[in-house]
Amino acid sequence: MSTPYLNQLQPFLDYLRFEKRYSHHTLISYQNDLEQFFQYLKSQFDGPELKDIKVVFVRSWLAEMRGENMLPKSLNRKISSLKSFFKYQVRLGELSQSPMTTIVSPKVKKRLPSFVTQDDMQKLKETIPEPGSWKEKTDKILLEILYNTGMRLSELVNLKEHHIDFGNGQLKVLGKGNKERIIPVSKELLNEIGAYINEKSLGIESGATDNLLVNSKGKPLYSKYVYLVVKNNLSTVTTLQKRSPHVLRHTFATHLTNNGADLNAVKELLGHSSLAATQVYTHNTIDKLKDIYKSAHPKA
């Protein structure tokens, strides 16, 4: 990659990291997308200066990826990376106009979210034995927190003890972009969290970490560990192909909407920036209404 592109890329990544508060995973994706695009410019168009990058160059790159049968979802992410990069350059005054203004993202077929039924979640709760070891206690409470709050995996592993507000029956979550949101918590779960914290302070060397959930050595949980705990436990009650922590997030939202929760309230609980992202859960409510209609209406 040519030096001018490197000089433009790093300040943009710093902007995403420190001002937009993007996650490490997102930063890596943006960096890979942009480096791939710049390498294409260098190989096909002799590495034009930033101000000389034209929309035809972008279209040529996108066409090549379509020819490689890239999925629309992946293509959209690359378009989003380019749009953000060039928008930043316009903001800095490096460009008068973005070459992305006429680029339209391909439509992506929305997949309905997978979720675990309420009966299966109840079955899971009943089949988990009374925990004895610290690992078993940690596994049990992380499952309950995920299902009872709908928080993301990254939010769970970064949850701190001081984020738990026992007096008001709620906890604070730091979501995407470092945005805070408050989630109400049942008294039952609060009691379990309190007991977990007390036992940790007596028998687990947690060192300098303030993370709520730790392993037997007092170290914060890593994402892969949580993923495997969720997958292994959900495998005992459901045949769903996906059995990830995100499925428990979908389950949380679906059960709320199925039981009459206001969609705007669900949006706030999930930390969605747009109601459109939350509306996908209404399909489950509609399915439930159809079932009720079929079973109750004489002409159904």
Residues 143 and 246 in one domain: yes
Amino acid code (one letter) for 104: V
Residues 141 and 265 in one domain: yes
What's the rounded Cα separation, in Å, for the pair 298 and 300?
Answer: 6
Active site residue 283: no
Residues 279 and 239 in one domain: yes
Active site residue 152: yes
Integer-rounded Cα Rg, in Å, for the chain is 23
Residue 106 within any structural domain of the chain: no
Residue 168 within any structural domain of the chain: yes
Q: What pLDDT is attached to residue 185?
A: 95
What's the rounded Cα separation, in Å, for the pair 63 and 192?
Answer: 54
Residue 82 within any structural domain of the chain: yes
Residue 197 within any structural domain of the chain: yes
Is the sign of the CA dihedral 232, 237, 242, 246 positive or negative?
A: negative
For residue 118, give every residue at least 6 positions away whose Cβ sits within 8 Å of its Cβ, in sequence order, or none: 255, 258
Residues 157 and 253 in one domain: yes
Q: What pLDDT is attached to residue 276?
A: 79
State the catalytic residue, choosing from 137, 140, 243, 272.
Answer: 272
For residue 76, the domain's CATH number is 1.10.150
Active site residue 17: no
Please give the chain's pLDDT, 300 residues, in tens: 445 687 899 999 999 999 988 888 899 999 999 999 999 999 999 999 999 999 999 999 999 998 888 888 899 999 999 999 999 999 999 999 999 999 998 887 777 788 999 999 999 999 998 999 999 999 999 999 999 999 999 999 999 999 999 999 999 998 887 789 999 999 999 999 999 999 998 877 666 689 999 999 899 999 999 999 999 999 999 999 999 999 999 999 999 988 888 889 999 999 988 887 888 777 666 666 666 667 666 765
Q: Within a 10 A sphere around the Cβ of 274, how many other Cβ atoms?
A: 8
Q: What pLDDT is attached to residue 7?
A: 86
Q: What pLDDT is attached to residue 288?
A: 61
Q: Using an 8 Å Cβ cutoff, are 106 and 75 in contact?
A: yes
Q: What pLDDT is attached to residue 159?
A: 96
State the catalytic residue, choosing from 176, 231, 283, 288.
Answer: 176
Active site residue 176: yes
Residue 108 within any structural domain of the chain: no
Q: What pLDDT is attached to residue 1?
A: 47
Residues 35 and 164 in one domain: no
Active site residue 42: no
Residues 155 and 214 in one domain: yes
Q: What pLDDT is attached to residue 23?
A: 83
DSSP 120-157: HHHHHHHHSPPP-SHHHHHHHHHHHHHHHH---HHHHH
Q: Using an 8 Å Cβ cutoff, are 145 and 161 in contact?
A: no
Q: Using an 8 Å Cβ cutoff, are 131 and 139 in contact?
A: yes
What is the residue range of 134's domain? 118-295
Q: How far is CA 294 from CA 15, 25, 281, 286, in A?
A: 54, 45, 21, 12
State the catalytic residue, choosing from 77, 83, 123, 246.
Answer: 246
